[in-house]
Amino acid sequence: MSGQLRSWEEMPMQFVAMTEEQQGFLDTNGYLIIPGVLDQDMIERLTATIDRLYQEAVREDRLNQVGAFELRNCIAHDDVFLPLLDWPETVSLVPYILGWNVQLDTSHVIVRPPQASDTAASYKAIGWHRDGGIAVRQLPEPLPRMRLKICYVLSDLSQPGRGNTRFIPGSHKRLGRPSHQEGAIDPDGAIEVLANPGDAVLFENRLFHAVGPNLSTITRKTIFMGYSYRWLRPLDFVTQPPALIAKVQDDPIRWQLLGAWATHMAFSLPKDEDVPLRAWCEEHGLDAAFPDMVRPAK
């Protein structure tokens, strides 16, 4: 590990409180933008690594069918992604939303290079969907909130048309697919998410989202880190490589977030040693603020 990552190794997850305003916005809209969470040094290190991985993929003809670069479970590919596992300004918010019984369930680099200028405005790199794969088709509605993603923005997405993720605010609480007027590019109420390098965009699994064309000259670079209840299966891996878990074995919360366990029923009836994040929540008063969500009866 580099010197900078070693300092992260030595510091346990810091607590950053979620404000009532943030909680209210997320509850109403299904997403939340947290500005400026990555410092310039982190932006540069992540970008340099993603640029290298992207160039390798271009050389080896590994872009996907829409010309984008995707790297699933990126946290197992390069140590530069490891600090995002418990990045204080964002991951501190996860227990407010899902409680302490959580894991990382995806870490996904997505790079979307500029597209041909004659690409239709209605083009979608990914169509409108909720997150969770097959689960969201097999579960009856209304769906529960089960997962959330934190998108770290590395390139300038402050203007629309740059391959920005699109959301339908409020769609997390509605039944069925969003209404869509005939001939309209997007369903009613759709927005393009605008964000600057270093910003994080948190959104929950029920929110309808899609990706439009990148008609700019800027290559869109993003990392999606997902968190969910530990009794759900992860999205883009089965279990993390033991060598990766070994890197965080001295930090109980990182160990939990990477999906490690201590007891044989850890995922259905966790004991305290399976879920050290529980003690962390208690230490920071989250059990008092959210008694049902954060600290169900033992």
Ligand X SMILES: O=C(O)CCC(=O)C(=O)O
Interaction site with ligand X (CB under 6 A): 110, 126, 131, 149, 165, 209, 211, 224
Q: How far is the CB of 211 from ligand X (least distance, A)?
A: 4
Query: Smaller CB distance to ligand X: residue 124 or 271?
Result: 124
**Rounded-to-5 percentages of helix, strand, coil across the chain:** 30, 20, 50
Shortest Å, Cβ 220 to ligand X: 8
Q: Is 75:82 a contact under the CB 8 Å cutoff?
A: yes
Rounded to whole angstroms, what are the CA distances from 122 to 93, 163, 213, 215?
34, 12, 8, 12
Q: Report the C-alpha gap between 258 and 270 in whole angstroms.
A: 15
Nearer to ligand X, 71 or 211 (CB): 211
**Distance of closest approach, residue 222 Cβ to ligand X, in angstroms:** 6
Q: What kind and span of H or E run contains 111? A: strand 102-112
Distance CA 292, CA 99 (A): 9
Nearer to ligand X, 216 or 277 (CB): 216
CB of 187 to ligand X, least distance (A): 15
* Minimum gap (Å) between residue 33 Cβ and ligand X: 14
Nearer to ligand X, 93 or 202 (CB): 202
Q: How far is the CB of 200 from ligand X (least distance, A)?
A: 13
Q: Given the complex with ligand X, which of 201 and 294 has the nearer CB atom?
A: 201
Q: What is the DSSP letter of 98?
A: H
Q: Give the shortest CB-173-to-ligand X separation in angstroms.
A: 19
Query: Contact 146/234 with Cβ under 8 angstroms?
Result: no
Q: Report the residue count for the chain.
A: 298
Phi-psi category of residue 243: left, alpha or beta, with phi > 0 → left and psi -120 to 50 → alpha = alpha
The sign of the torsion formed by the CA atoms of 281, 35, 167, 81 equals negative
Query: At its nearest, how many Å lie between ligand X and the CB of residue 131?
Result: 5
- Edge to edge, the sheet with strand 209-211 lists 126-129, 209-211, 165-167, 191-192
The answer to whether the CB of 150 falls within 8 A of the CB of 193 is no
Cβ proximity to ligand X, 157 vs 286, nearer residue: 157
Beta carbon nearer to ligand X, 209 or 278: 209
Residue 97 vs 266, nearer CB to ligand X? 97
Contacts of 217 (CB under 8 A, 6+ apart): 114
Bridging pattern class, strands 165-167 and 209-211: antiparallel
